[in-house]
Amino acid sequence: EGLPPDSHIWLELRLDGLPEDAVACAREISAASDRPTIATCRSVGQGGLSDLTAIESRELLGSLASDYCDLEFSPGHPAADSLTGELDAKRNILSYHDFHSIPQNLAGLLDEMERSAREHDVAKVAWACADISENLLALELLAKRPGKRVLICMGERGLMSRVLAVKVGAFGTFCAAAEGRAAAPGQLSVQTMLNLYRWPKISSKTRFFGVIGSPVGHSLSPRIFNTQFSAHDYDGVYLPLLIDSEEELIGFLNGCREKRWLDATGFSVTIPHKETVCRWLGDRADQAARRIGAVNTLHLVDGDYRGFNTDYLGILEALRSGAGLDATALASKQAMVLGAGGAARAAVAALVDSGCNVTVFNRTAERAAVLARDFGCKSGSWSDRANTQPDLIVNCTSIGMWPKIDVSPMPAAALRAKTVVFDTVYQPRETALLRDASAAGCQTISGMEMFIHQAAAQYRIWTGRDADLSLLRATVERALEADARDAVDEQR
């Protein structure tokens, strides 16, 4: 119910685990539906709930007036040769699931399935994704047989394979009917696929963007950039890209560069990869990014990457718009920067350039000392951060970031009235640090301000267009409010 009358949407009727009266209801739906239907009875061994034999399962599937039946494929046991009765006249999806890893010989498995398939049958393989580059293989294999394959990388890492499947001509992809009702790991709701990622708008020409990080599921970037694309009628889609290790990161970036058909155009880079990407790029990063030692923006142009740092601008704009601190007002301020990662390096560079007296504090003292030395400022031990009285505190650590939202990088008792406290964490919008600071009479700046301005700079780099700042702000505010409501609901 509530789905748009969209020809892109089919219905899968999952029969496994249903009582007989529900199966009877499924038969009625299949007979009366004005949408194409797929009948599925997934076995326990393939991630479902059915304990029926293969013959019993096929008899059940054959009793529905569905357009397709899902038949589980066992390597070495051709499926189509043994079809009889009702199923013999139907179109089928031959499916295989591996909940541990990618099949060892994926191309060979697909060849075997397609040798068993008939003219109108479809081969479907889904597996637990361990490396994000597996998505690139899946998409490449989909492109080789347009309309005849479904390949899904399951789990958070596999989102690319679900959303970009339409770009390379897949038969389709699978979504949950509603949020919280996923039938497989990483499955998106149909509302998310249609409204956030605009599945019907994606074509072979659609440009691919994303945010690279770990964690990345909390990121608001997909919402703000996809909304901008939609408002400007720009043919692009922006995805969250979970990547943990440096090896996985470099492999993915090289893969996107090599596969021109992917139309990879730009990536945001967040924790913990900003410094790694800067080292990897070398002189392909611009001078400002190299000076900071961190890249948060990648642009793929003419087959090669260019790196930028828009955090620097975002920090200065946040201080100006959030507290009226322009370069003149910042001069000679005593500033404390918490953290020594990529965001901290951008903050220190911006503050030093504005004439602030900066002291860096980090949980690992050696990293704070290196950062301070690089920019000609001071560092202090983490335990001493509460013993100073700065004019400005800038938190660039991940402390207080979703999901650990009840912790703060500063003891509440150490906050002094009239201090400006800027937390670069934007989710949640009001962090524990900002709550404590507000209670102490400090002036506070939300990380949302930095996020909005650095994102607008990214949009300009990638598209050559100015972002709609009012739309960008409204999108972020709505998203943060929705996330706050969801958090309250979860606690209940």
Residues catalogued as catalytic: 97, 124, 274, 311
Cα 489 to chain centroid distance, Å, stands at 23
DSSP string, 364-418: SHHHHHHHHHHHT-EEEEGGGGGG---SEEEE-SSTT-TT-TT--SS-GGG--TT
The Cα–Cα gap between 344 and 272 comes to 12
**3-class DSSP string for 56-114:** HHHHHHHCCCCCEEEEECECCECCHHHCCHHHHCCEEEEEEEECCCCCCCHHHHHHHHH
The Cα–Cα gap between 399 and 385 comes to 15
Q: Note the helical H segments in 270-392.
A: 274-281, 287-292, 311-323, 327-330, 342-353, 365-375
Evaluated on CA atoms 357, 359, 360, 365, the torsion sign reads positive
Omega cis (within 30) before 428: yes
Closest CA to 382 of 357, 354, 362: 362
The Cα–Cα gap between 77 and 59 comes to 19
Evaluated on CA atoms 433, 438, 444, 449, the torsion sign reads positive
Closest CA to 57 of 87, 21, 96: 87
Three-state secondary structure call for residue 301: strand
